[in-house]
Structure 1
């Protein structure tokens, strides 16, 4: 049987933070650009930029700081707020997985086996 995975999605009014946006923030931090992060995740630059714009608008301070390309090239990095949001989200994810492990296992035991 496939391993259980936990996907945490948080809604704050119209704003949402979930696993995809968290992965995008991680990719921006590691790749140093929105376009490279999008490519690494298999999404278009337009989609990646749209998600960054959503996150930057949803929080009190931007999560990603970007510089347009040019002779020196562009780039992007997480702001201090972006790093805090990402680390807090990952910590909450870990806490939910650990604290809810028994309940997750109990639910998993009730799932029907795959049909042949």
Structure 2
């Protein structure tokens, strides 16, 4: 089953429960195949499901959210550096270029910086 993912693996990747996926299947939102009595999904379908369902099904426990405006975006072939002005704060985020493109980040667009870190160390 190398080209297929079991329902538990799909649930884990989407951040939902197996029961949620069973309800989605009953509602026609996802279609699993059956192999040896198990629900499986073609691996290439997972990316599509992530795009469709991840934004609405994942939640964040981050409490530090700062609304702001994108001031600059610098991109290379792989990475992007995004600078936001959030009130009195300047926030700089490094992310994949793909993520910046998917979010449509460009100077002047509104965005929210979500800060969740267990450790921040700056030394000189």
Give your verdict on TM over 0.5. Answer: no
Instruction: Point out the structure with the larger strand share.
Output: 2
Query: Larger Cα Rg: Structure 1 or Structure 2?
Result: 2
TM-score, L = length of structure 1: 0.31
TM-score, L = length of structure 2: 0.30
Instruction: Point out the structure with the larger helix share.
Output: 1
